[in-house]
Amino acid sequence: MVNTLTLILASQSASRQTMLREAGIVFEVITPDINENSVKKVLLAEGKTSCTIADILAELKTSEITTHRPNAIVLGADQLLVCNNILFNKAVDLSQARLTLQNLRGRTHRLISAAVLVKDGRLIWRQIETAEMTMRYFSDAFLDAYLAAEGEALLESVGCYRIEGAGAQLFENISGDCFTIRGLPLIALLEALRENGVLVR
């Protein structure tokens, strides 16, 4: 399916790239140079809500790219995980992934997925969607086997799971859109791309 305008994804997320490709969207990938954890700390210190932080990060990712590619539409996206009022960061290794999953085990957490479209430095669309995820109280033996089977692929997700894979076994209840859980409010995005001439209606 051919786009009518160039779309650039300002994200290195494999999950977002997969969703866009599977939806038949043609796009380029340019990874923004942003220290997300540092930005989060500043915004938290300013008292920003988790939804606002996700939205600001999504837009921030587009700023550098849209300057150099003014005729393209740039898609920025971000996802945050909040549990017991704590904002989680991505694990840097499997030891941290274990700690993340131990902290989420038996609890409900919230995923916040924000996305923006920017053209010529102007914001033309934004969307924030949330999902609630309740992890079952799995055994340490299950956790060991899960970490061994999934390996470093877990480090790509802030929650250390792929809901479209074995990560589904971690949960006892899920409330929310599957695309939002994977990191992109895709259905709303597709409509925005049609409205802004990237996709044919």
Q: For each of the chain's 201 residues, which pLDDT tens digit applies?
A: 567 779 999 998 999 999 999 999 999 999 988 888 899 999 999 999 999 999 999 999 998 798 888 889 999 999 999 999 999 999 999 999 999 999 999 999 999 999 999 998 899 999 999 999 999 999 999 999 999 999 999 999 999 999 999 999 999 999 999 999 999 999 999 999 999 989 988
Output the pTM of the full model.
Answer: 0.92
Residue 171 β-bridge partners: 135
Q: Rounding to the nearest 10 degrees, give the CA dihedral for residues 126, 21, 70, 75.
A: 20
Classify 133 as helix, strand or coil.
strand
Parallel, antiparallel, or unpaired: how do β-strands 28-29 and 7-9 relate? Answer: parallel
Strand blocks (E) in 103-157 = 108-119, 122-135
Residue with tokens 């996700």: 54
6: enclosing H helix or E strand: none
Q: Is the dihedral of CA 12, 14, 20, 26 positive or negative?
A: positive
Domains of the chain and CATH, by start: 7-195 (3.90.950.10)
Residue with tokens 């934004």: 126
Residue numbers annotated as active site:
78
Neighbours of 176 (CB within 10 A): 16
Q: Is the dihedral of CA 28, 195, 123, 16 positive or negative?
A: negative
Residue with tokens 């992890």: 135
